[in-house]
Amino acid sequence: MAKVDLLVFDKTSTLTVGKPEVVAVWPLVPGFSEADVLHLAASADRRSSHPLAQSVVAFAARHQLVLSEPTDFEVLQGRGVRAIVDGTTVLVGNAKLLTEYGVEPPRSIGEYEGITIFVAAGGKPVGVLDLADTVQPGAKDAIARLKASGIHKVVMLTGDNRRVAQRVANDLGVDEVEADLLPEQKVEAVTRLQAHGYRLAMVGDGINDAPALVKADVGIAMGARGTQAALEAADIALMTDDLSKIATARALARRSYRTIQENLFAGVGVVHVLGINAALLGWIGPIQAAILHLGPDILVFLNSVKLLRIRVEGAI
Residues that bind Mg ion (CB under 5 A): 10, 12-13, 205-206
- Nearer CB in complex with Mg ion: 28/115: 115
- Nearer CB in complex with Mg ion: 15/53: 15
Is residue 10 flagged as an active site residue? yes
Contact in structure between 223 and 14 (CB atoms under 8 Å)? no
CB of 14 to Mg ion, least distance (A): 5
* Cβ neighbours of residue 237 closer than 8 Å, sequence gap 6 or more: 220, 221, 222, 223, 226, 231
Strands (E) located in the chain: 6-10, 16-27, 71-76, 80-85, 88-93, 115-121, 124-135, 153-157, 176-178, 200-204, 218-222, 236-238
Handedness of CA 133, 53, 76, 85 (dihedral sign): negative
Strands 80-85 and 88-93: antiparallel
Quick one: which H or E segment has residue 194?
helix 183-195
CB of 168 to Mg ion, least distance (A): 12
- Nearer CB in complex with Mg ion: 91/187: 187
CB of 161 to Mg ion, least distance (A): 15
Using CA atoms, how far residue 51 sits from 22, 56, 125, 170, in Å, is: 12, 9, 22, 27
CB of 236 to Mg ion, least distance (A): 16
Q: What's the CA gap between 264 and 258, in Å, rounded?
A: 10
- Nearer CB in complex with Mg ion: 56/229: 229
CB of 203 to Mg ion, least distance (A): 10
- Nearer CB in complex with Mg ion: 15/41: 15
Q: What's the CA gap between 32 and 227, in Å, rounded?
A: 43
Q: What's the CA gap between 190 and 33, in Å, rounded?
A: 48
DSSP bridge pairs for 313: none
Say which of 10, 130, 133, 209 is annotated catalytic. Answer: 10
Catalytically active residues are: 10
